[in-house]
Structure 1
């Protein structure tokens, strides 16, 4: 009885051992495959952010990069920037780089050009501070396959494709006629220049000089000086000209700094347009305010508010293999207190 019990226990243990082995081997008698680790729930790959482009370091196909280089930092060019930026945003495939040298420094503008060429931008619009100095760099850009146009100040001795903006010699002729009209065909004037080498200003001055000499011999230019487009320097130079020529009848500013400098001097002396006349270029905020305040007699305004869109349209046309006019004259208009609120209509 005792031996039978022990035997049954041994048989039961053997059966259990065999059953355990069978289960551990997957029920087949072969070695069980090792289970693969559970990787856990999978996150879907993040979509690139269309706003930041952080997952797309390269610009989307079709985007173009254009640079607009002003000859000097001045509020005169604010409407150009505003127009270009608004139009680029409307088109949706144009990136803009907008730069200018401080104080019209030629070397700084050359360095800007060199940098843009190395960046391989698609197009450049430049108002040259010094046409002779910038011409070789415009040619380098063209040779590198970059479309280049000029505006405000042309560089005709370069490979630039075309010029858009004011035809500055004609603007000088217009200014001479405006001066003559307000002086009644006779008087003495002083002229304040900005950057003496800036091509557009040189052409304006030449247009004034030629027209007064040929058509209004009783109007004399007493002095022409440059304030280097610097506001404080322009005031100093103008004060010196006034001290040297106290009997002058009218002052004309050729560039953007001339009008504001004259308004500052007139205010300090307590003058109005009835004492001495200011007949100057450009519809800057200071000049328009001076006109409203009875300090400025007349302005010859350019149409720079249209330049931004014209620049982008021209570069787009060239990039698409089209052609543009060599000269696109946007003209000038006289602004007085009579049309101050309607001249841009």
Structure 2
């Protein structure tokens, strides 16, 4: 964890034309679902870079080490007690998060969500992916790379994570009426555990030997490149021929490299770095009394073998 010192109520001084102008300083905390998820590392990097550019903002990055909704809620409670100026939260569980978000706003703390929303809470804005559209793009990409269909399974993260539920719905809607059929027991829930997600890839294939595709709605199994390769190597001939399709969420560097090497057919990526940047901008605007959009989408990227080199640059 970096930049965790809380400096509240301090005044930064700017000098313009020899005149000193007081500028209030703020501490904004970014609370991910889990700090052991490399996806959130990019959001942290964007947050810290933007805070440094702004000059009067400190980015505090703090959350549960692993995906634990109760731990996340307790961390937010602690941040409320400490009196941070703003919170950007990736919601693990809507019910738990809504309770603490409402408590934070009642205490005068600016609150937004990022990556995963709690729309019925008193948060001011959501910054991140249009998750329903994201799931639809995953489904459309599967139709593109394997139009003949078959059976498919999905891997999700936390069962109570609202963003992931929307992605699952989006995949299903995109594939409705096609030649694709979802297997029983799908999606499996990895709880954002990278090793478990890799294991669930094998479990899905073992339970369904004729499985024609797996669609993780988050990048977890590919976040362990060696584990991913070990799984794919068992079915590499079918992967190479397109008989077994792998379409995966997220576009972290290790995933792009795996795609380039032929270990997947396509990726649909989010923009976590931009989420971190926009979180700082949005919280600062709220503290200044400015009006912000309630929904701020950061967009996504569809990556295949044809354009992967552009994203690896």
* Map of 2:180 onto structure 1: 219
Paired residue for 1:71? 33
Report the equivalent of 1:282. 250
Q: How does 1:40-189 map to 2 (within 5 A)?
A: 59-61=10-12, 62-73=24-35, 74-189=37-152
- 2-side partners of 1:298 and 1:93: how far apart? 41
Q: Which has the larger radius of gyration?
A: 1
CA deviation map 1:145-187 (0-9, x unaligned): 0000011000001000011110101111111111111111522
Q: For the Cα contact (< 8 Å) 1:63–1:94, is it kept in 2?
A: yes
| 1:318 equivalenced with 2:281 (yes/no) | no
Deviation, structure 1 residue 286: 2.6
Provide runs of 4+ in structure 1 moved above 4 Å.
none
The answer to whether the aligner puts 1:271 opposite 2:242 as a matched pair is no
Is the 1:259–1:281 Cα contact (8 Å) retained in structure 2? no
SS in structure 1 opposite 2:27? strand
Work out the CA distance in 1 between the residues paired with 2:219 and 2:247.
13
Equivalent in the alignment of 1:308? 276
Q: Does the 8 Å contact 2:156/2:216 carry over to 1? A: yes
User: When the two structures are superposed, what TM-score results if normalisation uses the length of structure 1?
Assistant: 0.79
Query: Which stretch shifts more, 333-342 or 112-121?
Result: 333-342
Specify the SS of the correspondent of 2:192. Answer: coil
Task: Kindly indicate whether residue 174 of structure 2 is the aligned counterpart of residue 208 of structure 1.
Answer: no
Residue segments in structure 2 that go unaligned for 5+ positions in a row: 13-23
Q: Does structure 1 retain, via aligned residues, the 8 Å contact 2:152–2:180?
A: yes
Supply the distance in 1 between the matched residues of 2:207 and 2:82 (Cα, whole angstroms): 50
Measure the CA separation in 1 of the matches of 2:148 and 2:296: 32
Please report how far the alpha carbon of residue 102 of structure 1 lies from its aligned counterpart in structure 2 after TM superposition.
Answer: 2.7
2:202–2:231 Cα contact (<8 Å) kept: no
Q: Secondary structure at the match of 1:104?
A: coil
Judge conservation of contact 1:194–1:229 (CA < 8 Å) in 2.
Answer: yes
Q: Distance in 2 between matches of 1:96 and 1:57?
A: 13
Tell me what 1:41 maps to. Answer: none
Question: TM-score under structure 2 normalisation?
Answer: 0.86
The structure carrying a bigger strand percent of its residues is 2
CA distance in 2, matches of 1:233, 1:344: 27
CA deviation vs aligned residue, 1:235-283 (integer Å, no higher than 9, x gap):
2222121111111111111123133467244345262631522100001
Superposed CA RMSD in Å reads 2.2
Q: Could you say which structure has the greater relative contact order, defined with CA pairs below 8 angstroms and 6 or more residues apart?
A: 2
Contact 1:282 1:299 (8 Å CA) reproduced: yes
Deviations 1:100-125 (A, max 9, x none): 22321011001111011001111100
Query: Would you say the 8 A contact 1:106–1:129 is kept in 2?
Result: yes
C-alpha separation in 2, matches of 1:111 and 1:229: 19
CA distance 1:318–1:120, shift in 2 (3 Å): same
**Number of residues of Structure 1 aligned to a counterpart in Structure 2:** 289
Q: Contact (CA 8 Å) 2:149, 2:212: kept in 1 or not?
A: no
